[in-house]
Amino acid sequence: MELIQEALKGSERAIARLITMVENEMPSWRETMRTIYAHTGKAYLLGFTGPTGSGKSTLVDRVAHLLCTNGYSVGIVAIDPSSPFTGGALLGDRIRMREVVTHENVFIRSLGTRGGLGGLSQATSDVIKILDAAGKEFILIETIGIGQDEVEIAQIADTSIVVSVPGLGDDIQTIKAGIMEIGEIFVVNKADREGADHVVTMIKAMLDVHPLSDAWQQPVIKTVATENGGVDELYENIMLHRKYLLKSDLLAVKRKERIGREITRLLERRIAQYVHNQMKEIGSLEDLVEEVTRRETDPYSCVDRLLPLVEKK
Amino acid sequence: MELIQEALKGSERAIARLITMVENEMPSWRETMRTIYAHTGKAYLLGFTGPTGSGKSTLVDRVAHLLCTNGYSVGIVAIDPSSPFTGGALLGDRIRMREVVTHENVFIRSLGTRGGLGGLSQATSDVIKILDAAGKEFILIETIGIGQDEVEIAQIADTSIVVSVPGLGDDIQTIKAGIMEIGEIFVVNKADREGADHVVTMIKAMLDVHPLSDAWQQPVIKTVATENGGVDELYENIMLHRKYLLKSDLLAVKRKERIGREITRLLERRIAQYVHNQMKEIGSLEDLVEEVTRRETDPYSCVDRLLPLVEKK
């Protein structure tokens, strides 16, 4: 396909069109991704995970800027959970990215969900592959990190950066949600605010209880992204972690785990979609709902009745 | 089962033990839920959805208090996305609930996830049913509302309350994520902070673009939950919305949709778990990962090879 060839050469227009195709799971999606896949595996993936209001977009912006300055080409994927009703995101993250959009080799893309059952994870993973195949050397992924899909996305990264911030009500709230153990680098952003040292102390205490490994001591870095404070130190630590993964062969291990998870997810999704379509064809859902409403049966028993029907088809 | 009988009579100890059984999906889980189900459908469900730091726990606490004062028995379910690694939540929400725990007929339960593919939605839905069957008249559900699972949980409620707060960086951030269209009542908490009126204006503007219906004008209420400010008004609006749903028969429609979604989800989950187990038995995943790593094939093509194996079993 010509579009793929254009994207592989780095054409922004072609990349954008491919991403749109993939996001909407167009009929040619699977075939396109097959072709793309052969050209992947070169990009290094950085995950930035943190709650709303932690300023992680600005942080991503600053790190991307440093990467560009050092001659790397950069792609950015910002996860933007979209409405299940309108299918559209209320607001993209694009408008908040100011510094970086002036660089020619940065490609920013906000993602909506692709709906249900690992859809967001798969869409993100596909978009990353397109940017990878198009020659981006670093891909920065920004997520809020809550919910199963979001945790999976955080696991996609080669280096995971967990962003906290002082003063978000209950401090521990900002770093729970299964994200703690994913972090290889911790950042306390807006560190000029009161309470920053307290957050640092708390993260360090948690890391003492759940250390990641002996070989990699997770750093806790204070930043003030809006004023570029601490961003150099963060950049250095990202490069250190990358070197550590490459040296110890852990990068290959991580990537193999990622492939295994992706195969399983794709299989589950395929089967779930099949079930979904079957349910529409069987058409007995409405009758079942009426029975359940009258409490003559229950949802758990309905599944036992539906299973053989789905299998037979 | 004696435990179920005790729970139906309202024994807190029995309710707690049943919930633990359900959360861990013990072998008897399905059978237990079948028995429970016949006793459900009486409780009224209130959903509170809002970002970290919006003070929604305090708000839940205050509304629960008012409900108790008016003679209702209340259950609270707080969603607490737990770690995918340790399986444990870093911090429950229990410690933040102070006012309400002194009431005898309030039952608070923090929920961890039940892992993967709609697990959190199902666990929440099951716990709600147990509280319902145990005679709780109002069940308050607190979620962060991000990600597929969380949006589904917000949809579980009869009345959905969306909580915003001024000053969380980009204001619109706090109310995006597919939650906007779910809201039947909007609350701007911490309304004594600067920018509260701006958030109210913005929500109203959005409601003008996407109105829910002609018959129910979604109210936007300012609260200062810590000082009980605006909580009476919120309470009144909850009761108004409940009356509206009952009168218009919309409550029955909502609940039927909920049953339909639950049957579909249970079926998808059952099949996904089956696939997961099959993948372990087939045992060829490692070989596939090696092939993909060498780029001799791709994850999308692997699925085509695995599907017939899963079907044959």
Residue of B52, B130, B290 to mutate when probing chain A, most A C-beta within 10 A = B52
Amino acid A210: pLDDT: 67
Buried b (16+ CB within 10 A) or exposed e, B117-146: bbbbbbbbbbbbbbbbbbbbebbbbbbbbb
Q: Answer yes or no: do B83 and B177 share one domain.
A: yes
Give the lowest-confidence range in A17-21, A169-173, B90-94, B282-286: B90-94
pTM of the model: 0.69
Q: What is the CATH number of the domain that holds A151?
A: 3.40.50.300
CB contact under 8 Å between B148 and A146, yes or no, is no
**Looking at the predicted structure, is the pLDDT value of residue B72 above 50?**
yes
* Closest CB from B90, B285, B295 relative to A263: B285
A290 within a domain of the structure (yes/no): yes
Contacts 24+ apart (CB under 8 A), B10-19: B10/B134, B10/B135, B12/B107, B15/B107, B15/B130, B15/B131, B15/B134, B16/B109, B18/B130, B19/B109, B19/B127, B19/B130
Amino acid B1: pLDDT: 75
Q: Answer yes or no: do B112 and B183 share one domain.
A: yes
Amino acid A179: pLDDT: 62
pLDDT band with cut points at 50, 70 and 90 for residue B128:
very high
Burial of B262 (0-12, 13-18, 19+ CB in 10 A): buried
Nearest-Cα distance to chain B for A135, in Å, is 17
Mean pLDDT by 10 residues, chain A (313 residues): 90 87 80 92 92 81 92 84 34 42 63 57 86 94 67 81 76 51 89 90 79 83 94 97 93 91 83 75 79 90 81 60
pLDDT band with cut points at 50, 70 and 90 for residue B105:
low
CA distance B7 to A296: 21
Report whether A191 contacts A222 (CB < 8 A): yes
Amino acid B66: pLDDT: 93
- Total domains, chain A: 2
Q: Answer yes or no: do B157 and B276 share one domain.
A: no
Q: Answer yes or no: do A160 and A108 share one domain.
A: yes
Nearest-Cα distance to chain A for B74, in Å, is 23
Give tens-digit pLDDT for B17-35.
888 888 777 778 888 999 9
Report whether B49 contacts B157 (CB < 8 A): no
CB contact under 8 Å between B172 and A81, yes or no, is no
| Contact B312/A at CB under 8 A | no
A257 within a domain of the structure (yes/no): no
**Looking at the predicted structure, is the pLDDT value of residue B103 above 50?**
yes
A260 within a domain of the structure (yes/no): no
A259 within a domain of the structure (yes/no): no
A254 within a domain of the structure (yes/no): no
CB contact under 8 Å between A285 and B33, yes or no, is no
| Contact B119/A at CB under 8 A | yes
Chain A partners of B299 at a C-beta cutoff of 8 Å?
A: 37, 259, 262-263, 266
Q: State percent of chain B over pLDDT 70.
A: 76
Average pLDDT over residues B234-249: 95
Q: Answer yes or no: do B143 and B210 share one domain.
A: yes
Report whether B263 contacts A285 (CB < 8 A): yes
| Contact A69/B at CB under 8 A | no
Q: Answer yes or no: do B134 and B241 share one domain.
A: yes
Higher-scoring residue by pLDDT: A124, B37: B37
Which residue of chain B comes nearest to A262, CA vs CA?
Answer: B299
A90 within a domain of the structure (yes/no): yes
Average pLDDT over residues B147-171: 74
Q: Answer yes or no: do A110 and A237 share one domain.
A: yes
Chain A partners of B263 at a C-beta cutoff of 8 Å?
A: 285, 288-289, 292, 299, 302-303, 306
Q: Answer yes or no: do B141 and B70 share one domain.
A: yes
Q: Answer yes or no: do B274 and B206 share one domain.
A: no
B116 within a domain of the structure (yes/no): yes
Q: Answer yes or no: do A239 and A297 share one domain.
A: no
B131 within a domain of the structure (yes/no): yes
Q: Answer yes or no: do B227 and B114 share one domain.
A: yes
Q: Answer yes or no: do B237 and B274 share one domain.
A: no
Nearest-Cα distance to chain A for B186, in Å, is 17
Distance linking the first and last C-alpha atoms of chain B: 35
Amino acid B235: pLDDT: 98
Amino acid A45: pLDDT: 96
Chain B partners of A180 at a C-beta cutoff of 8 Å?
A: 83, 90
Window 283-302 of A: residues touching B by CB (8 A cutoff) are 285-286, 288-290, 292-293, 295, 298-302
| Contact B249/A at CB under 8 A | no
CB contact under 8 Å between B289 and A263, yes or no, is yes
Q: Which residues form the domain of A125?
A: 2-249
Nearest-Cα distance to chain A for B231, in Å, is 20
Among A225, A60, A255, smallest CA distance to A142 is for A60
Window 220-239 of B: residues touching A by CB (8 A cutoff) are none
Average pLDDT over residues B212-222: 87
